[in-house]
């Protein structure tokens, strides 16, 4: 049997199904979706193309490439890392080794920030927004996409992350409203900002080894590790914020499980007033804590 006849038995549909079954057997939670994305990536097909092209057969090279990606996924690499792309707030974002894979949980930070600005009537103004530790730029770029008059200032200690974020801004047509600053949290910024957001590293160092392999082996440690109690980044960044916020300005941060009381206390100690209870993510976990510098 020739190589092409051997692979003639594998259609787009059967490749997708076989891979989904293997991923499912390995305990993958999103096996169907992952299989569709991986086979689609090799063949250059979106969802519609996968359906209309379901019966086309794979060449040997395509089958080999599907197998290579299947092995990476089976070894615990997230699909977003394999593809180098993740959807966040409806925006397609490129990733790099220096950036977290943006999580749906982080959309809670966006929701809280937009609620606060809209209640305040601020959303129509030419806001100045800062995102401390921007990574892929996910939070800042989503905010800029919602607030057409706003200008964003994003910091990161990693030059590679800032390059990734600025490429994302360019791809989304947002470059003119974004400024990139290489520094630790807010240390390289001068105020005043109407809104500061951050999803800093917040996992206690000792907990990292117990995280899922997708996270512990593939997200950058610097974006996860919050020190002994997980709160190091909040201590550093919240103390910068009171001086960077305009009177009436808001700070919204993502938090890890059980951190809301401590983070609210740090905000209060820096002169910020909590703006209500933390906002929960889709899993019901308090995920976004917000505070406000009192208006003069
Ligand atoms: N949300 C990530 C996780 O739980 C952590 C991200 C962070 O530390 N900011 O794996």
What number does the ligand 1 atom closest to the CA of 203 have?
8
Set out the domains of the chain in order of their start, with CATH numbers: 4-75 (1.10.8.10), 97-293 (3.40.50.150)
Determine the pLDDT at residue 119.
87
pTM for this structure?
0.93
User: If you average pLDDT over residues 10-24, what whole number do you get?
Assistant: 96
- CA atoms of 226 and 203, how far apart (whole Å): 5
Q: How far is the CA of 263 from the centre of ligand 1 (A)?
A: 15
User: If you average pLDDT over residues 199-226, what whole number do you get?
Assistant: 97
What number does the ligand 1 atom closest to the CA of 201 have?
8
What number does the ligand 1 atom closest to the CA of 199 have?
9
User: If you average pLDDT over residues 223-244, what whole number do you get?
Assistant: 96
Is ligand 1 within 6 A of the CB of residue 103?
Answer: yes
Give yes or no for residue 226 having a pLDDT over 80: yes
Q: What is the pLDDT of residues 70-96, one digit of tens each?
A: 999 999 999 999 999 999 999 999 999
- CA atoms of 161 and 178, how far apart (whole Å): 14
Beta pairing class for 272-274 and 193-198: unpaired
Tokens of 7: 């692979």
Give yes or no for residue 8 having a pLDDT over 90: no
Is ligand 1 within 6 A of the CB of residue 224?
Answer: yes
Q: Which residues pair with 93 in a beta bridge?
A: 86
List Cβ<8 Å contacts ≥24 apart for 279-283.
Answer: 279/108, 279/111, 279/112, 279/115, 280/108, 281/104, 281/105, 281/107, 281/108, 282/104, 282/105, 283/105
User: Between 121 and 284, where is the model more confident?
Assistant: 284
């Amino acid at each position: 049997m020739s190589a092409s006849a051997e692979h003639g038995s594998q259609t787009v549909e059967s490749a997708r199904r076989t891979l989904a079954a293997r991923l499912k057997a390995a305990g993958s939670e999103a096996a169907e979706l992952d299989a569709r994305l991986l086979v689609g990536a090799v063949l250059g097909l979106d969802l519609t193309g996968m359906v209309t092209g379901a019966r086309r057969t794979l060449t040997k090279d395509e089958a080999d490439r599907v197998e290579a990606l299947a092995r990476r996924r089976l070894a615990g690499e997230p699909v977003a890392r394999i593809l180098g792309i993740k959807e966040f707030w409806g925006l397609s974002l490129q990733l790099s080794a220096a950036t977290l894979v943006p999580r749906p949980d982080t959309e809670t930070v966006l929701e809280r920030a937009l609620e606060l600005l809209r209640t305040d009537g601020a959303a129509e103004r030419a806001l100045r927004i800062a995102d401390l530790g921007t990574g892929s730029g996910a939070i800042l770029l989503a905010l800029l996409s919602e607030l057409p008059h706003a200008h964003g200032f994003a910091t990161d200690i990693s030059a590679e992350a800032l390059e990734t974020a600025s490429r994302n801004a360019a791809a989304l047509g947002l470059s003119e409203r974004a400024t990139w600053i290489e520094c630790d949290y807010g240390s390289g910024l001068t105020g005043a900002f109407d809104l500061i957001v951050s999803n800093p590293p917040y996992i206690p160092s000792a907990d990292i080894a117990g995280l899922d392999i997708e996270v512990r082996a593939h997200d950058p440690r610097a974006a996860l590790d919050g020190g002994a109690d997980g709160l190091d980044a909040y201590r550093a960044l919240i103390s910068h914020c009171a001086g960077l916020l305009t009177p009436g300005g808001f700070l919204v941060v993502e938090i890890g499980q059980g951190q809301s009381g401590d983070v609210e206390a740090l905000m209060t100690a820096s002169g910020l007033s909590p703006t209500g209870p933390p906002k929960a993510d889709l899993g019901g976990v308090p995920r976004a804590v917000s505070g406000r510098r009192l208006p003069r």
